[in-house]
Amino acid sequence: MKVVVLGVGNTLLTDEAIGVRAVEALQQRYRLPPEVNVIDGGTAGMELLESLEDLDQLVIVDCVRVGQPPATVIRRIDDEVPAFFRTKISPHQIGISDVLAALTLRERFPQRLALIGIQPKDLDTGIELTPEVAATIPEVLALVVEELARVGVKVVEKA
């Protein structure tokens, strides 16, 4: 089984970093089995292509603009995800959108895809998340763990 949890975002733009910070917290708080690869995707795009080919499960954690109150957490599954990225919701989304399109064209799209998205409060220059968005990390991690469990991957919280 091949599973990737991908955190994306620009760590210099306040809440844009939530995807990266969430996957950092995932690695700090949980013991992950060897079949789970956690990737800090930053603002990368096509550089991620090989790492995302032929996966059983891809979980993307990202800052998204969905017109909801700041710190709202959303989940989109499978076919909802590429369509969701086509609506231009994130400054780096073109990279992820392009990667998903390339995976489709190469017939190497993940069998299962989930997006855990967090509505930002602030996208100004800064290296810290706003307190509101930082407070979503436990909820985001719970959703990631739930997505992993859906494909039979069990993770254990560190003591």
Residue list, annotated binding site: 16, 62, 92
Give SS3 for 94: helix
DSSP annotation of 13 reads: B
Q: Which residues pair with 5 in a beta bridge?
A: 38, 59
CB atoms within 10 A of CB 3: 22
What's the CA gap between 82 and 106, in Å, rounded? 15
Per the annotation, where are the binding residues for Ni(2+)? 16, 62, 92
DSSP annotation of 20 reads: H
The position carrying tokens 């550089």 is 47
